[in-house]
Structure 1
Amino acid sequence: MGNFKEDIAAAEAFIFDVDGVMTDGGIIPTVDGDFIRRYNAKDGYALAYAIKRGYKVCIITGGRGPTLERRLQMLGITRYWTDCMDKIAVLRQYFAEEGIDPARAIYMGDDIPDLECMREVGIPVCPADAASEVLETSRYVSEFRGGEGAVRDIIEQVLRARGDWARDSQGVTPSSLAASR
């Protein structure tokens, strides 16, 4: 581990939890067993933009439901695990399948189930409102809370460090992601 800015410029992959990272952690159960979550549009834009630029993005979450999976698909995320109770095994599997050096991976988590994964990567980060154990484990704590821009914060920092942020003004939408596949 070296300088944080140098390390993020060499990052190979982003791995995110969902509830408490991409959302504020609040969920509303529906009668059909799904959950309603509130997402930040700027976080979503940054995720889709990073994917469009060729960055590897993976989601590993204990969260579940067709609405969650549809949200991830809309953003262009193809590598995701939901309803996951063994995050570290899945993380190691993902690294092996993608040939990713864990020292060059960013993992953003917010609570105790994320700690093992955060200790496995070279660049553990978290939202401002993460659990105290997660705050202590992180190399970087976003000034933003989960679901309020923390995801965009770290993605934007990495892409800026590599000269890839705002390289064009075309933007990304779910339909433009589908067209580029």
Structure 2
Amino acid sequence: MMSASAVIEAARKIRLFIMDVDGVLTDGRIFIRDNGEEIKSFHTLDGHGLKMLHRHGIQTAIITGRDAPSVGIRVQQLGIGYYFKGISDKRSCYRQLLQQLDLDEQQCAYIGDDVVDLPVMKHCGLAVAVPGSHPLVLQHADYVTRAPGGAGAVREVCDLLLDAQGFLAQDMAEYLA
């Protein structure tokens, strides 16, 4: 785990925020209807935080091992720029994305909760986990959110990035005017 000052220093450099879905943007539970349809629940705080990142030029991406139609809908609603679904090799996908965007690893933050996220977390500039993550993920996280997955954890990271880069106060002032 990084010190608070090291987390802020790493957050200043971030130009791309990559997220896992289940357990991060959702609480990790998957509801399946009798017809096989999956139902997921997303938190509105996370959505607004991602929109604020976009406003300041921080790109967003999802790399997930699953392929659920509801995630694709949420990606479109939020304007998430890069969506990779059904990915079994997250590290390879991550490296290709960094190459495509001409970014180095120190410019990328990743939030995950399970061991399949470690191949990216171990190589990005800011590795974030949510409470309740697998113990090995917690061991390799630079920062662990206070909010659980699906309950504002992504927004917490958005606010952290925006604050470290000097944008959060001006964004919040807009709502207090």
Counting matched residue pairs gives 170
Equivalents in 2 of 1:38, 1:120: separation in Å? Answer: 29
Residue 62 in structure 1 maps to residue 65 in structure 2: yes
Equivalents in 2 of 1:129, 1:166: separation in Å? Answer: 30
Residue of structure 2 in register with 1:114 after alignment: 117
| 1:165–1:32 CA distance, 2 compared to 1 (3 A) | farther
Residue of structure 2 in register with 1:93 after alignment: 96
Correspondence list, 1:8-157, <5 A = 8-31=11-34, 33-157=36-160
Residue of structure 1 in register with 2:161 after alignment: 158
8 A contact 1:142–1:150 mirrored in 2: yes
Could you tell me which runs of 5 or more consecutive residues in structure 1 were left unpaired when the two chains were aligned: 171-181
8 A contact 2:13–2:106 mirrored in 1: no
8 A contact 1:126–1:141 mirrored in 2: yes
| 1:45–1:166 CA distance, 2 compared to 1 (3 A) | farther
Could you tell me which runs of 5 or more consecutive residues in structure 2 were left unpaired when the two chains were aligned: none
Matched residue of 1:3: which SS? helix
Matched residue of 2:18: which SS? strand
Query: Counterpart of 1:53 in structure 2: which amino acid?
Result: H
> What is the TM-score when the length of structure 1 is the normalising length?
0.87
Stretches (4+) displaced over 4 A? none
User: Identity of aligned pairs, percent?
Assistant: 35
Q: Considering only aligned residues, what root-mean-square deviation do their CA atoms show, in Å?
A: 1.7
Equivalents in 2 of 1:81, 1:34: separation in Å? Answer: 20
